């Protein structure tokens, strides 16, 4: 079989099984890391979550399989992407030494950091600029939330 298998991922983004067709014995109804239910389909459009790509006669071992951030079919964020953004935005509201305008700029930047787009670099610059005002512990907390939902370009620009 050539093509994508189906991935099973929990609502918080922990990859349970990147090959549910090939290895169904690894499937779980709930995540063993956080207890959340697992899904194999986009909750918005019903498309399968793409898992490992199979090529006949080729075996890849030891590659990391990150949870995708957006559905390839409808473009909507998966639940773990939405939850990460909500948590990061809630933390933004708790930062006392930012103006409301800076908080809004930061929240918009968070959305852009999840995408690989021309605005990713701009968002990263704004993020760094605002983080320089808040201190290391808040910045580290935000980065910890973002690490699983930020795009590759965003990670590179932020140094995470």
Under DSSP, is residue 85 helix (H, G, I), strand (E, B) or coil?
A: helix
> What pLDDT is recorded for position 12?
97
Domain that residue 11 falls in: 3-54
* pLDDT surpassing 70 at residue 62: no
Using CA atoms, how far apart are residues 96 and 137, in angstroms rounded to an integer?
13
73, part of any domain: no
Residues 132 and 94 in one domain: yes
* pLDDT surpassing 70 at residue 60: no
Q: Which of 151, 148, 154 is nearest to 126 (CA)?
A: 154
Last residue of a domain, one of 20, 39, 54: 54
Determine the average pLDDT of the residues in 82-111: 95
Question: Which of 25-34, 62-71, 81-90 shows the lowest per-residue confidence on average (mean pLDDT)?
Answer: 62-71
The number of distinct structural domains making up the chain is 2
40, part of any domain: yes
Tokens of 51: 């898992």
The secondary structure of 17-84 as a DSSP string is ES-TTT-GGG--SB-TTT--BEESB-TTT-PBPEEEEE-TT----S---PPPSB-TTT-PBPHHHHHH
Using CA atoms, how far apart are residues 96 and 101, in angstroms rounded to an integer?
13
Report pTM.
0.90
Q: What are phi and psi of 17, to 5 degrees?
A: -150, 120
87, part of any domain: yes
């Amino acid at each position: 079989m050539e093509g994508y298998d189906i991935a099973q991922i929990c609502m918080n983004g922990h990859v349970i099984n990147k090959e549910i067709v090939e290895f169904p014995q690894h499937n779980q109804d709930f995540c063993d890391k956080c207890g959340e239910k697992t899904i194999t389909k986009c909750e918005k459009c019903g498309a399968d979550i793409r898992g490992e790509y199979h090529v006949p006669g080729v075996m890849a071992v030891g590659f990391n399989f990150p949870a995708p951030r957006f559905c390839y079919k409808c473009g909507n964020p998966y639940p773990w992407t939405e939850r990460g953004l909500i948590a990061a935005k809630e933390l933004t509201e708790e930062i006392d030494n930012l103006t409301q305008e800076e908080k809004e700029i930061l929240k918009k930047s968070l959305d852009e950091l999840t995408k690989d787009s021309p605005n990713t670099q701009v968002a990263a610059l704004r993020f760094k600029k605002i983080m320089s005002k808040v201190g290391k512990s808040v910045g580290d907390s935000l980065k910890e939330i973002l690490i699983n939902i930020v795009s590759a370009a965003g990670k590179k620009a932020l140094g995470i």
